[in-house]
Amino acid sequence: MKSPCGAIPGLILVVDDDATMASTLHEFLEQEGYAVEVALTASEALALQERNPQLSVALVDLIMSPTDGLVLMEELRRRNPDLAVIIMTGYGTIETAVEAMKRGAEDYLTKPFDREAVRKKIARLMEVFALRSRVAQLEASLEVSPSFGNFVSVSPAMQRLVERARAVAATDASVLLVGETGTGKEMLARAIHLASPRAARPFIPVNCGALPHELVESELFGFRRGAFTGAYTDAPGIFAAASGGTVFLDEIGEMPRDVQVKLLRVLQEGELRPVGSPKPEQVDVRVVSASNRPLAALRAEQLREDLYFRIATVVLEIPPLRARKEDILVLAQYFLGRIARRYGRPATLGRPALDLLLSYTFPGNVRELENALEAATALCADGSRIITDKDLKSLLNETSSPNVPCVAGEQPLSIERLERFAIQQALALCHGNRTKAAELLGISRDTLYRKLRRSDASA
């Protein structure tokens, strides 16, 4: 069954040589609203996987003949490293569970099954599958909108930001980007440039805080031979080098006041005067500025008021990652995919690692998330493809308590809250029509009603 958006819901594969047990699981999962296939042998399971590329979760019995469940699991995951496998066993020992997890199982279930345990484990894995599917859609959008395609996000706040940035990119207005370190200000500035009529011309980033005070003016505006000791020849500045393009002034609040006056003239008159030159020169450059300081402090304490109004024709504030936690798992899957392609080391996040990321405040924002995942992947033991919470804890900023909420009174985001958010979004898109919302989510109407009742009961 396809949703109105054309997406195919994830498929669950049940593999058990006990036909009665397989049939019972099949019936239960279908009642939960999932699409299910059943295989009684390893060869049937592999054939079903080949025919169904949207296979998302496999429940595999441990004790089968002639191929045991762990061997089958490894072959299923060799063909599709993203496939989540739950091992089922009637011999539920700690040793069995540990061995299964070491060899790539996402989780395990002991027979006889607790239906609520099955329901929760499957719901969590299908949520992760849905997030991976969303990442794939976002990656495909790179072909349509290469400039803004790198903004992997499902949060309304970021989607509104990207829409505003896309709109302003078509103009020549000066833009001020405000956001904490690591939120992606330079990436957004570059995207604005690439979506603008100036895309074929240079994009030159400048960190104003990294330039020596005495060299800021000559670096930005150039100098003439003999202007100062060591000026043996004329040199164009950054603005001249970016002619026709965009200059990105990062941490503009660090720019000295005397240089701010000269930048103001560039913005007002379109002309600059190189150090040591007797006459001004015309320049055609768009300026995008950025700061990690709060907007009020930047305006009141660091910038001349007249310059502020010139650079802040449009102000875009990038929310920190802790204020848009619905993006964390989507970004994590995106980064893990990119890391796997770069290093040939595919990895997935175990449930404790997912919970840790959702409860962490990310003072370093998106950059910290990417760096932590890259380091965790590099440090994973040979053969291990599952990143654990222990792998991540030592890589995250210990001075930031992972239990501190991102906003006063806000609780850490959980899989259950993500699910409620998705349902609310679907109902809003379908104007309250629950049948259409269920189709959009890829679940049955009965499943949607049950989730709504459970959500109301826990509210």
pLDDT > 70 in the chain, percent = 81
Do 342 and 313 fall within a single domain?
no
Q: Is residue 193 located within the same domain as residue 311?
A: yes
Is the per-residue pLDDT at 410 higher than 80? Answer: no
Query: Could you give the CA distance from residue 86 to residue 88 in angstroms, rounded to a whole number?
Result: 6
- Residue 273 shares a structural domain with residue 357: no
Q: What is the average per-residue pLDDT within 341-366?
A: 86
The DSSP call for residue 235 is B
CATH number where 132 lies: 3.40.50.2300
Whether the predicted pLDDT of 8 surpasses 70: no
In contact, 314 and 177? CB cutoff 8 Å:
no
| Same domain, yes or no: 124 and 238 | no
Residue 432 lies in a domain: yes
Calculate the CA 172 to chain-centre distance: 29
The confidence score (pLDDT) of residue 306 equals 93
pLDDT higher than threshold 60 for residue 206: yes
Mean pLDDT of all residues belonging to the chain? 81
Burial of 86 (0-12, 13-18, 19+ CB in 10 A): buried
β-strands 281-282, 271-272: how paired? antiparallel
The confidence score (pLDDT) of residue 317 equals 96
Residue 2 placed within a domain: no
- The 10 Å Cβ neighbour count of residue 139 is 15
Convert the pLDDT of each residue in 222-243 to its tens digit. 877 766 666 667 777 889 889 9
Q: Please tell me the pTM assigned to this model.
A: 0.60
Residue recorded with tokens 């299964």: 100
- Give the pLDDT of residue 406: 38
Work out how many domains the chain is built from and give that number.
Answer: 4
Q: 327 with 431, same domain?
A: no
**Can you state the percent helix, strand and coil of the chain, rounding each to 5?**
50, 15, 35
Statement to judge: residues 326 and 278 lie in one domain = no
Instruction: Choose the final residue of a domain: 318, 347, 365.
Output: 318
Least confident of 176-185, 255-264, 428-437: 428-437
H-helix or E-strand spanning residue 286: strand 286-291
Q: What is the pLDDT of residue 429?
A: 62
Which CATH number characterizes residue 346's domain? 1.10.8.60
Q: Which pLDDT band holds residue 217 (cuts at 50, 70, 90)?
A: confident
pLDDT of residue 149: 65
Of the pLDDT bands very low, low, confident and very high (cuts 50, 70, 90), residue 147 is low
The residue segments making up the domain with residue 116 are 11-140
Of 218-227, 251-260, 441-450, highest mean pLDDT: 251-260
* 41-65 residue pLDDT tens: 999 999 999 998 778 899 999 888 8
